[in-house]
Structures are given as C-alpha cells and as structure tokens.
Structure 1
C-alpha cells in the first residue's frame, strides 16, 4: 500500500496516510477537523539501482546496465541493402 501525503488548506497541517490504491482520498484534517485536506503530489521514496534482480533478471542483451558500466548508448550499425534498387522498408 502506498503512503499518500496530505496538506490542510485551512491550517497548513501536513499528514501522511497509508491507504489502498482504491481508497477514497481523505478530506477531514486530523488537526483542525475542517474538510480542507488536499492530496499532495510527491515522488516515490525509492530508486532501483545497482546490480540487483531488477537490473539483471528483467533486461536482456545490450539493455543490461550492470552497476559500474557506462550507460552511454552504442552507435547504430550501418545499414546496407543488397538489392540494387535499395531497401523499400526504410
């Protein structure tokens, strides 16, 4: 379950609540009891990095970026068409 951040528009009180995704947003401030609670937009509190399961198990080939390796993209390969008239697919 995610943790949502709220701020009261009446008194400025900030509040965090552990709620289900399907739960209705809270409306009543726990500090002043006014129905002025608004959900704040905030970033997630974690980042997947390093050489753990996410980096090694769900990416394949050149997409893997194991910790310590450069993340610069590889240069695209030159394309040559064997047909005399050139490729019609590009």
Structure 2
C-alpha cells in the first residue's frame, strides 16, 4: 500500500499515513483537529538500471563511411 505525506495548513504538522488507493484522503489534523490537512506532492525518484541507458552502453561503433 502507498504511503502519503500530509501537512496541516493551520499548525504546520507534517505526517505520513499508509493508505489503500480506495481510502479517503485525510482531512482532519491529528494535532490541532482542524480540517486544514492537504497532501504534499513531491517528485518521484527514477532509477535507470541495466544496459542501454547511457551513450556508451552497447553501442556498436562501426565506421562505415
């Protein structure tokens, strides 16, 4: 199940929660109990593994001129 990062706009409390895709998002802050919680979105890291991702990987250097 995915882990979501939340932040309260009222008090600034940051927290994470493991939720299913079908679960409703958290809207009430567990600290100040206000309905000011929003999901925090961030870039997902991408890792290129294996051959073929770099200019030097598996390139055939034939000089047919």
**Structure 2-normalised TM-score?**
0.71
The CA distance in 2 between the partners of 1:8 and 1:32, in whole Å, is 9
Q: Which runs of 5 or more structure 1 residues have no equivalent in the other structure? A: 56-64, 76-90
Higher helix share: 1
Q: Which runs of 5 or more structure 2 residues have no equivalent in the other structure? A: 61-65
Structure 1 runs, 4 residues or longer, greater than 2 Å off: 46-50
Is contact 1:6–1:39 with CA below 8 Å preserved after alignment?
Answer: yes
**Structure 1-normalised TM-score?**
0.53
Larger Rg: 1
The CA distance in 1 between the partners of 2:54 and 2:4, in whole Å, is 33
Higher relative contact order (CA 8 A, sep 6+): 2
Aligned length: 58
Alignment of 1:6-85 (within 5 A): 6-44=6-44, 47-50=46-49, 55=50, 65=51, 71-72=54-55, 74=59
